[in-house]
Amino acid sequence: MATPESKVKAKIHAMLKARGAYAVNYIGGISANNGTPDILACLQGRFIGIEAKAGKNKPTDLQTLNLKRIDEAGGLAMVVNETNLSVLEVMLDDPRFARSNYHLHTKPLTEADDGARAPVKRKPKAP
Q: How many domains does the chain fold into?
A: 1
Q: Domain with 10 in it: what CATH number?
A: 3.40.1350.10
Please indicate whether residue 112 or residue 18 has the higher confidence score (pLDDT): 18
pLDDT tens track for 11-66:
999 999 999 999 999 887 777 788 999 999 999 999 999 999 998 899 998 999 99
Q: Which residues contact 88 (CB under 8 A, 6 or more apart)?
A: 12, 15, 50, 78, 80
Asked whether residue 28 is assigned to any structural domain, the reply reads yes
Asked whether residue 126 is assigned to any structural domain, the reply reads no
- Classify burial at 77, counting beta carbons within 10 Å of its beta carbon; exposed 0-12, middle 13-18, buried 19 or more: buried
CB 20 within 8 A of CB 43: yes
Grade residue 127 by pLDDT with cuts at 50, 70 and 90: low
CA separation, residue 115 to residues 71, 112, 118 (Å): 17, 5, 5
Asked whether residue 29 is assigned to any structural domain, the reply reads yes
Range of the domain at 51: 4-117
Neighbours of 62 (CB within 10 A): 14
Q: CA 78 to CA 71: how far, in whole Å?
A: 9
pLDDT tens track for 82-102:
999 988 888 888 877 788 888
Asked whether residue 122 is assigned to any structural domain, the reply reads no
What is the value of pTM for the model shown? Answer: 0.79
Asked whether residue 127 is assigned to any structural domain, the reply reads no
Asked whether residue 18 is assigned to any structural domain, the reply reads yes
